[in-house]
Amino acid sequence: MTATDHVQAPAPAPGAPSRRREKGQAARPAMYIAKKVLALVVTLFVASLAVFFSRFLVPGDPARFLLRGRSPKPEALEEITRQFGLDKPAWEQYLNWLGGILQGDWGRSLTYRQDVSDVLLGRLPTTLQLVALAAVFITVLGLFAGIVASLNKGFGDRFILITLTAAGAVPPFVAAIALVALFSVGLGWFPSFGSGDGGWDRIWHLTLPALALGITYIAMVARVTRSSMNEQLLREHVEVATSRGLTRGSVVARHVLRNAMGPILTVSGVLVAGLLVSSAIIERTFGLSGIGQLLVQSIDRLDFGVVQAIVMVVVAAFVLVNTVVDLVQPLIDPRIAAGTESR
């Protein structure tokens, strides 16, 4: 508002207000990043509390479980309890656990009799690759379907919308069975079992699982893309761009999709981070040994060390992805960094 005047005003007047503005903006990104990172750390800390102490809510004594129904001598039970540090007060156990994690030691698995980190590292890559591939499918196919739907009003839009609604309602295990029936049993294009030997073979093996895992999310991303783009298409700046003789492609890429990116990114971030959890069913269906399946087994066997480690990894991945999304948002829409977000 004050700036209106200095368009016409002679020389010295305008410098002052705008310079102040620039200085504020230089300090802002650093503050913004620092805040987000601080929030990340606090969230992880709170999550660690919840993860650790929730085990005390679960019935059953892990030491007793270890002995598999054998009726133990009291001193043997005591020995095992001491060996795993279960006799100490809860807060001390927590501090030990947290201290260990910070040094890369996640404790020992009760069932596998080896370090939790070794158990985890053996399985994490498979799951991460599965999730990464699913994420690629989700973004590429989701964006594509959304864009096509948004730009083809009428039949195309309605057809894609109905297909998406149907796809979004399919539970992953049904999708998995259907995909296997069609592509591996029927057509024989993809294997139905195992995770392959790395490289292309791995991707080939993981294609069906990733598709099955991602199908619901593809539908969601496509819907968000569609509505976000539809909202932008009505904006006046799109008409201005058209009126200046830009091609349809340029208008869509530079002014519609670019501006629609914010919501799409937010939703994709949340969805992709959530994939880690929902991968258990798919891993089971396709016989992959990933952390999803490990989590289910470990809960079953009261193997708390492994459960806590997996949950922490999932929480960390979730929070991390969302923090990255938050940090990228200002690059997409500079108004967010300036704190003056308005249409």
Partner 1 sequence: MSQLLQIENFTLGFPGRPPLLDSVSLHVNDGEAVALVGESGSGKSLTTRAALGLFPGGSESSGLVSVQGLDTLTASKQRLMELRRRHASMIFQDPRAGINPVRTVGDFLTETLLRFDGLSRSEATERAVKQLEQVGLRRAKELMDQHPHQLSGGMLQRVMIAAALLNSPDLLLCDEPTTALDVTTQAGIVNILREEQQARGMGMLFITHDLNLAASLCERVYVLRRGEVVEHGPTRTVFLTPEQDYTRQLVEATPVIESGAASASPAAPGPDSAVAPLLKVSGLSKTYQLPRGEIITALDAADFSLPEGGSLGIVGESGSGKSTLARLVVALETATSGELTLRDVPRPRRPLNASERKTLAKDVQIVFQDPYLSLDPRIPVGNAVADVFRLHQKQGRKEAKDSARNLLGRVGIGAERIDALPRALSGGQRQRVALAKALAARPRLLVLDEATSALDVSVQAQVLELVEELRDQLGLTILFVTHDLAVVSRLCSEVLVMHQGRIVEQGPTARILEDPGDDYTRNLIASRPRPLWDAEPVTA
The residues that touch partner 1, with contacts defined as CB under 8 A, are: 1-5, 7-8, 11, 14, 18, 21, 24, 153, 235-237, 239-247, 250, 254-255, 258-259, 332-335, 338-340, 342-343
What's the chain's length in residues? Answer: 343
Compute the least distance from the CB of residue 254 to partner 1, in Å.
7
Q: What share of the chain is helix, strand, coil (3-state, %, to 5)?
A: 80, 0, 20
Residue (104 or 249) nearer to partner 1, CB: 249
* Residue at 147: amino acid letter: I
- Give min distance, CB of 236 to partner 1, in A: 4
What letters, b where the CB count within 10 A reaches 16 and e where it falls short, cover 315-339?
A: bbbbbebbbebbeebbebeeeebee
For tokens 């910070």, the residue is 102
Give the Cα separation of 323 and 34 in Å (integer): 11
**Residue closer to partner 1 (CB basis): 136 or 337:** 337
Amino acid at 222: A
Residue closer to partner 1 (CB basis): 176 or 261: 261
Closest CA to 212 of 134, 306, 322: 134
- Residue 336 C-beta: closest distance to partner 1, Å: 10
Residue 115 or 333 having the CB closest to partner 1: 333
Give DSSP secondary structure letters for 197-236: SSHHHHHHHHHHHHHHHHHHHHHHHHHHHHHHHHHHHTSH
State both tokens at 31: 């503050």
Tell me how far, at minimum, the Cβ of 335 lies from partner 1, in Å.
Answer: 5
Minimum CB distance to partner 1 smaller for 1 or for 57: 1
Contacts of residue 237, defined as CB under 8 A and 6 or more positions apart, other chains included, come to 255
Give dist(CA 291, CA 313) in Å, integer: 10
Minimum distance of partner 1 from residue 293's CB (angstroms): 43
The answer to whether 323 and 152 have CB atoms below 8 angstroms apart is no
| Number of CB atoms found within 10 A of residue 341's CB | 11
**Shortest Cβ distance from residue 86 to partner 1 (Å)?**
48
Toward partner 1, which CB reaches closer, 7 or 102?
7
Please state the closest distance from residue 233 (CB atom) to partner 1, in A.
Answer: 10
Report the residue number, 48 or 259, with the smaller CB distance to partner 1: 259
Q: Measured from the CB atom, is 256 or 282 closer to partner 1?
A: 256
Distance between CA atoms of residues 140 and 122, nearest Å: 29
Closer residue to partner 1 in complex, CB, 220/260: 260
Copy the structure tokens of residue 258: 């670019």
Task: Name the minimum Å distance from CB 126 to partner 1.
Answer: 39
The minimum distance between CB 15 and partner 1, in angstroms, equals: 9
